[in-house]
Amino acid sequence: MILPGAIIGGGTLSAEFQGTGTNASNLTSYTFAGVNFGNQSTKRYILVAVSNVGGASATVTVDGVSATKIYSALSPEWWLVALPTGTSGDVVVATGGAAATRCSIAVWAVYHLKNLTPTDGDFINGVGNLSPRSIDVEQRGLILAVADGASGHTNITWTGITEVADVTIEARQFSAAWAQFSTAQTVSVGCTGNAAGIPITTIIALR
């Protein structure tokens, strides 16, 4: 069962999707200015999914604070940072080397996170590696995912979790989806594009 709404309240895990950013300027460092961070809280973490086409990211900072990569050696990646204060600021993604053709981010505020590493996850590499994927989620846990579409994709469709963003960058789509679950279960998470090719996708579960 998917819990209605994003905020549960109390001391339980909750999350709010904050939005996306995209840039296709072929840079070694991308700054996304004025990103929303949600409500301030001593229990708040900012979760950033990064699709950095051309290689993995070397660093990600959120409002000047260094984030830690928690999942994926390949793009899209997931980065996390404790950020108790501030309602908006810059997210900066640096490659540490060659320029990335384009960079996209999706941002969540996560509250009362009990485990700073994913409890499950999977990667769909876009080449003969079809979804859906079976993701184990704990009671009241989150499943979050992002996908970088193949060339020609103008829409990405999700199953098992709820799409919250589908934006165009260089004639392809960057998409994000997530859900929270009231009971521990195995969820079949699928991601497909509306043209040839398989979106490059990473999926994580948090508790």
Residue 129 confidence (pLDDT) above 70? no
Find the mean pLDDT for residues 79-92: 98
Give the pLDDT confidence of 161-206 residue by residue, as tens digits.
999 999 988 878 899 999 999 999 999 999 888 777 778 899 999 9
List the beta bridge partners of residue 191: 158
pLDDT class for 130, splitting at 50, 70, 90? low
pLDDT at 127: 62
Question: What is residue 8's predicted lDDT score, i.e. its pLDDT?
Answer: 34
pLDDT tops 80 at residue 4? no
Alpha carbon distances (Å) from 59 to 50, 54, 132: 11, 15, 30
**What are the domain boundaries of the chain?**
14-206
The pLDDT tens digits of the residues spanning 20-79 come to: 999 999 999 999 999 999 999 999 999 999 998 776 789 999 999 999 999 987 889 999
Question: How far is 110 from 72, CA to CA, in rounded Å?
Answer: 19
Residue 16 reports pLDDT greater than 80: yes
**Most confident range, picked from 118-122, 152-156, 171-175:** 118-122
Per DSSP, the residues of 28-95 read: SEEEEEEEE--S--TTEEEEEEEEEETS--SEEEETTEEPEEEE-SSSSEEEEEE--S-SEEEEEEE-
